[in-house]
Amino acid sequence: MYDPITPEDFDFLTGDDKELMQKITAYSEKVIGDVKPEDMKMSERLDKLKPIMRKLALKRGVALEDIFVRYMDLSSEVLARKAGKEKKGNIPIDFPTI
């Protein structure tokens, strides 16, 4: 079952990381919508997210690739926490932030 990342899933993030996830997630909802991951290639999904990632990279003065890597790292962390909550009866697992 597809369970998308929502803003509540990354409430534990702070500062720039939280802003990055908020902006990319909101943009993703607009341009990709409810398309399940298995129905769209990852390269296509990332291609659709490039405009917001490019905007964030320019704002932060970093390379587009840096935003991409940070987003992938944060998404993995969020998904791992989310899976941990489901397995542990919604008890959050404490992962160190990067």
Q: How does pLDDT run across 39-59, given as a tens digit for each residue? A: 888 889 889 999 999 999 999
Of residues 63, 83, 71, the one with CA closest to residue 23: 71
Residue that is written with structure tokens 């992938």 in the block? 72
Q: What percent of the chain has pLDDT over 70?
A: 84
| Structure confidence at residue 70 (pLDDT) | 95
Nearest to 27 by CA among 50, 59, 4, 9: 50
- Say if pTM beats, i.e. exceeds, 0.85: no
Backbone phi and psi for residue 49, each to the nearest 5 degrees, phi listed first: -90, -10
Q: What pLDDT is recorded for position 86?
A: 62
By the 8 A CB rule, do 10 and 78 touch? Answer: yes
Neighbours of 74 (CB within 10 A): 20
